[in-house]
Structure 1
C-alpha cells in the first residue's frame, strides 16, 4: 500500500448552528462526510464542550468510513466561527492535543472563512459567510489574509440571519413606539416574529432576546421572514434588500487589499458565498448588486457544491507539508458575475428602489 493510501486527514467546518466534517485519504478519496445541527463555536458553548463535540463528529465519521475510533489522524483542520484570534487558535489546538493526545498528529485551527476559501480557491479569492452570523475574508496568493466582519451579534454580524431578525424587531418596536416610522406596513413581519417567538406583544421579546437568548434560535426567525418576503411583503423584502447591501459592503471593504496579481488581465475575483442566507439569493440580489457594482472590480460569485470541511482538511494536510490532490474546480458553481457599474449602467441599470 502506498504511503498516500495510509495517510488520513480530517477537516471540520464549525458554525454557531451547524457543523460538518470530512475524512479524506492521502490520495484524495473522501471516505466520509458527516454534518448536522451541532454548534462548535467555542465562544458560545465553551472550549471543553466544543472539543468534545468535535471528537464525537470525528468518531461518527470514522464509523461511517468503517474505521476504528482509535485510528489516529495525520492531520486535523478546524475552521470554526469565533476563531478570529491567531494566538487563541494556537492555544485551542494545544489544549485539544493535550486533552485528546491520540486524536491526531497535528491540529490547526482557523476561522470558518479560511475553510471556505480553501475549498474553492486556495491560491486566492474572497469568501463571504452569511448564516447565523456573518464574516468575510480575502486570501492573497502570497498567503496574506485580510478580513471584514466577524464581530458577533452585539458588534456586527451585518447581513446575517441574526442581524435580519434583530432589524425586524427593532423596526417593529421603533414603529410602535413612534420613534421611527417604518416605510412599509409592519403587520405581516410583526405577526411572523410574534408567532416564531410565541409572544403576543413587543414587551415579551425581552425573554428570547436577553434572558433566554440563543443566537442560533434567534437567527431562525429569518427563515420565516424569507417566506413572507417571497410572498410579497414589502417590509420583509426591504430587510433582505438591506442585508444584501451589507454583505456586499464586506467585499467592497476588502478590495483595496487585493493583490493585483489576482486581477491580472481583467481576471474576475472569485467570491465564495457561503451560508444558509444565500439560499435566499433572489431576495438579497438587488441590494447586493447595488453595492458590489461600486467596487470597480469584476467578481464571480460562486456557491460551494461541496462542504467547507474539505478546505479544512486540505489545510490540515498543508500544515504537515502534504499536498492533497483535490480538483478545486468541481467544488463550486457560478451564481452570478458582478461587473463594475460603469460597465452595466448603460445596458442594465440597477434601481435603488426594490419595489419596482
Structure 2
C-alpha cells in the first residue's frame, strides 16, 4: 500500500484537506468548517480535524482506523507553541487512528511551503490578516495575526468595520466624512437586511458573526471597482497601505538572498481580498515606500492555485523524514511584479 500523507489548511471561515502519495499525487480532497482553535475551542477544532480525515479516508477507500503516515495542520490561529503541543498530544490520545505523526503550524507557513521552496513572505488577507517571512533556513518572522480585536488590518472584517465606522462617525457628526456615504449606507442595509443603524447592533453583539460581517467587503469591492465609489476606494486604498506595511515589518529580517532572487522578494498573497487587487494596488505601492529604514527595490506577488494544505502535507512528511514531491510551478503563478 502507498504511503499516504495528509494536510489541512484551516482558515477562519472554512478548512481544506488533501490526501497525497509521496510522488505528489493528490488522492482525495475534503472541505469542512473553521478549525481555528481560538475561534471554536481546541476540543471542537480537533473534532473537526477528525471529521475531515474520516471524510477523506472514505473518499479514498481507506479503512478509517488506518492511520495516515503523517498529517500536517496549517491552522489559522495555530502559531502558538504551547497550544500546538496540546493539540498534538490530545489528537494522539483521543484520535489514535488519525495519524502516526503530526506537524502543526500557522496557516501562513503552509501557504509558503506550497508556493516556494526557497522561502519568501506570505501575506494573508481573507476574513482576517497575517504576514510571515520564511527564510530558506526555516527561520521565521511575523507581523499581525492578532485577530479582529487587536489586529486583522487589511482583512475583510477590518475593511467592513472601517467603512461602517466612517459612516457612523459621519451620521453622528463626530468626524464628517469627506466622501459621500450613500453607497456604504445602502450596502449596510442590504447586507444585514436592516432599516437603521440601531438595527446593526444586534449583528455586532448578540448575533455576532465575524465571517458574515467580513463578507460585506465583497459589496465594498464592487463599489470600488465597478462604481468607483470614493469611500469604498478609500477603504481599499488604506487596506493596501497597511498590508504593505506588514511586508516591510517582516522584510527587515529577510535574508539578503531572498531580496536578490530573480523577481525580487516573493510575496505569496492568500485570501479572498486579493481578488480585488486593482482596488488595493495604489495603496499597496504607496505603502511599500512608507518606511525609509526598510528598502525593497523589487518584489513579485504570487497567487496560489492550490490550497496551503499541500504545503502542510509537505512539512508533515519532512518532519517524519519522508520526501513529498511538490510541483511548485503548478501551485502558484505571478500576478504582479514591480521595481522601484
Range of TM-score over shorter length: over 0.9
Residue 266 (structure 1) shift: 6.5
Aligned to 2:257: 261
Report how far residue 127 of structure 1 moved.
0.3
Structure with bigger RCO (C-alpha 8 Å, 6+ apart): 2
Supply the distance in 1 between the matched residues of 2:260 and 2:268 (Cα, whole angstroms). 19
Consecutive aligned runs of 4 or more in structure 1 exceeding 4 Å deviation:
none
2:337 is equivalent to residue 321 of structure 1: no
Among candidates 240, 244, 266, match of residue 248 of structure 1: 244
Give the structure 2 partner of residue 291 of structure 1. 287
Normalising by structure 1, report the TM-score. 0.91
- The Cα shift of 1:193 comes to 1.1
Q: CA deviation at 1:253?
A: 1.0
2:263 and 2:300 in contact (8 A); partners too: no
Query: What secondary structure, in the 3-state scheme, does the structure 1 residue paired with 2:324 have?
Result: coil
Q: Deviations over 1:194-247 (max 9, x none)?
A: 221122222222211122212111111111211222222111111111111111
Q: Aligned with 1:78: secondary structure?
A: strand
Summarize deviations over 1:247-274 as a string: whole Å, max 9, x none.
Answer: 1111011121001122347751111000
Mean alpha-carbon deviation: is it higher for 128-137 or for 320-329? 320-329
State which of 6, 12, 24 in structure 2 corresponds to 1:28: 24
Offset, 1:68: 2.5
- Tell me, what secondary structure is at the counterpart of 2:288? helix
Aligned to 2:158: 163
Change beyond 3 A, Cα 1:42–1:265: closer
Deviation string, structure 1 residues 99-139 (Cα, Å, up to 9, x no partner): 10111001121100110001011321000001000000000
Note the C-alpha offset of 1:319: 1.1
Shift of 1:61: 1.6
- Alignment partner of 2:58 out of 63, 72, 87: 63
Taking a change above 3 Å as real, the CA distance of residues 71 and 235 of structure 1, as seen in their structure-2 partners, is same
Q: CA deviation at 1:166?
A: 0.5
Higher mean displacement: 5-14 or 197-206 = 197-206
Give the root-mean-square deviation of aligned CA atoms: 1.5
Q: Per-residue CA shift, 1:57-93, capped at 9, x if unaligned?
A: 1222222223232221010000111112112111111
Matched, 1:138 2:129: no
**Range 150-159 or range 187-196, more displaced:** 187-196
CA contact (8 A) 1:274 1:304 kept: yes
Q: 8 Å contact 1:84–1:150 — kept in the other structure?
A: no
Partner SS state of residue 98, structure 1: helix
Question: Aligned to 2:233, which of 237, 245, 259?
Answer: 237
Contact between 2:221 and 2:232, CA under 8 Å: does it hold in 1? yes
Name the counterpart of 1:343.
none
**Distance in 2 between residues matched to 1:262 and 1:248, nearest whole Å:** 17
8 Å CA contact retained: 1:167, 1:239: yes
Q: Secondary structure at the match of 1:154?
A: coil
- In structure 1, the gaps of 5 or more residues are 341-356
Q: How far 1:35 sits from its partner (Å)? A: 2.7
TM-score (norm 2): 0.95
Q: How many residues align?
A: 335
Superposition pairs of residues 41-190 of structure 1, within 5 angstroms: 41-190=36-185
Per mean C-alpha deviation after superposition, the further-off stretch among 153-162 and 122-131 is 122-131
Q: Which runs of 5+ in 2 are unaligned?
A: none
- SS where residue 76 of structure 1 aligns? strand
Q: Distance in 2 between matches of 1:223 and 1:99?
A: 40
